[in-house]
């Protein structure tokens, strides 16, 4: 298939859906592929299942698509029963592992199967949603053990991927992006103290993230950037 293509993971979530919508409205993209756990996804992808990620990559490969943009818009902060830990006594091994599986391992496996499919002759952009709370140097409050640690692990994955892939395509841009606080189910229990003007709807968040991603250069690959374009130190 010819033409410019983008692949979005987590495309049934608030940010992922908005990113896919924005890219579809962008005349620069001929194809936007939305992967998620929903039945509408070309392949139902579960980030805890390497086989499903591999099958999604095969689906893209079979159609001779070489994406120029890939966005991993997934994340786990809480579910119906559990949330971020406030203290050491709340640590639970299964919940910690689930945080790592969704927030770090899943995006790394997406890279494993999809980076080889991306255009090696042109600039391509690979981005994954991270969070400021994944910055070790910025952590002054503690708590949120699983989420913080798994996002810090994601940031290291991004750095490793950028180093390795620069040897295959020195025009590659592989980054982690912090969206700020977005009015989605993920942030719903935790946005009571968000300052006025800093709670973004999904559409605005998507536009801000895509604007940042579009301005980045290969020399900035492997880094973490906030929604306003400022670099976040690891």
Domains present along the chain, CATH in parentheses: 5-232 (3.40.50.720)
Which residue is it, tokens 């050491």?
A: 88
- Identify the pLDDT of residue 110: 98
Using alpha carbons, select from 157, 198, 151, 186 the residue that is nearest to residue 174: 157
- Identify the pLDDT of residue 172: 96
pLDDT band at 193 (very low <50, low <70, confident <90, very high): low
**Interior CA angle at 131 toward 129 and 134, to 5°?**
125
Is the pLDDT at 190 greater than 80, yes or no? no
Structure confidence by residue, pLDDT tens digits, 170-182: 999 999 999 988 8
- At 8, list the tokens: 């979005």
- Identify the pLDDT of residue 26: 81
Q: How many residues does the chain have?
A: 234
Question: What distance in Å separates the CA atoms of residue 7 and residue 17, rounded to the nearest whole number?
Answer: 11
Question: What distance in Å separates the CA atoms of residue 25 and residue 46, rounded to the nearest whole number?
Answer: 27
Is the pLDDT at 21 greater than 90, yes or no? yes
Show Cβ contacts of residue 24 under 8 Å, excluding neighbours closer than 6 positions. Answer: 32
Structure confidence by residue, pLDDT tens digits, 147-158: 999 999 999 999
- At 39, list the tokens: 């039945």
Question: What distance in Å separates the CA atoms of residue 107 and residue 50, rounded to the nearest whole number?
Answer: 10
Is the pLDDT at 1 greater than 60, yes or no? no
């Amino acid at each position: 298939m010819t033409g410019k293509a983008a692949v979005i993971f987590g495309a049934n979530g608030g940010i992922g859906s908005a990113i896919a919508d924005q890219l579809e409205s962008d005349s620069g993209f001929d194809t936007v592929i939305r992967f998620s756990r929903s039945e509408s996804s070309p392949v139902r992808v579960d980030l805890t299942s390497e086989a499903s990620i591999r099958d999604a990559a095969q689906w893209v490969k079979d159609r001779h698509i070489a994406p120029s943009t890939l966005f991993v818009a997934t994340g786990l902060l809480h579910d119906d029963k559990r949330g971020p830990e406030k203290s050491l006594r709340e640590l639970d091994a299964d919940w910690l592992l689930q945080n790592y599986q969704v927030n770090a391992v899943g995006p790394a496996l997406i890279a494993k199967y999809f980076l080889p499919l991306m255009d090696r002759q042109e600039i391509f952009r690979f981005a994954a949603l991270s969070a400021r709370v994944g910055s070790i140097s910025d952590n002054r409050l503690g708590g949120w053990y699983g989420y913080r640690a798994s996002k810090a692990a994601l940031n290291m994955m991004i750095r490793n991927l950028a180093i390795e892939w620069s040897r295959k395509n020195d025009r590659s841009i592989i980054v982690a992006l912090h969206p700020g606080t977005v009015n989605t189910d993920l942030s719903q229990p935790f946005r009571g103290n968000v300052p006025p003007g800093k709670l973004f709807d999904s559409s605005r968040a998507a536009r801000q993230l895509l604007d940042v991603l579009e301005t980045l250069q290969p020399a900035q690959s492997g880094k973490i950037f906030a929604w306003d374009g400022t670099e976040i130190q690891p």
